[in-house]
Amino acid sequence: MPSVDINGQPYQYPGNWVHLDANTFVVVPVNFRNWALIEGLKAQVGKPKAKPAKEKSDDGE
Partner 1 sequence: MPTTRGNLLAFDYAQFWRVTSAGIATGQLDPDSPGTAPQTSHSFLLEGPMTCELPGATFGQFKFRGGGSYEGSVDGGLEDLTNGTLTLSQCDASLAALIMGTSLDTTTITGGPTIWSVDNMRPSPVQGGLMLTRRIQSQVTASQGIVSYITTIFPLVQMRMTQGNFSQDTSLNTSPVTVSITPQIGSKFPWGEAFSSTQGWYSNQGIEFNIQSDYPWALTAFLQDGTETDVVTAYKPIYTTVTDGRANSVHTVNGVVTAPTSITIATATIVKAAVGTADQWSNHFYQTAFDVV
CB of 12 to partner 1, least distance (A): 6
* Residue 48 touches partner 1, criterion: CB under 8 A: no
> What's the sign of the alpha-carbon dihedral 12, 13, 17, 21?
positive
CB of 29 to partner 1, least distance (A): 5
Q: Name the helix (H) or strand (E) containing 25.
A: strand 25-28
Residue 42: closest CA among 2, 6, 12: 6
* Residue 23 touches partner 1, criterion: CB under 8 A: no
- Residues binding partner 1 (CB under 8 A): 7-9, 11-19, 22, 25, 29-33, 35, 38-39, 42
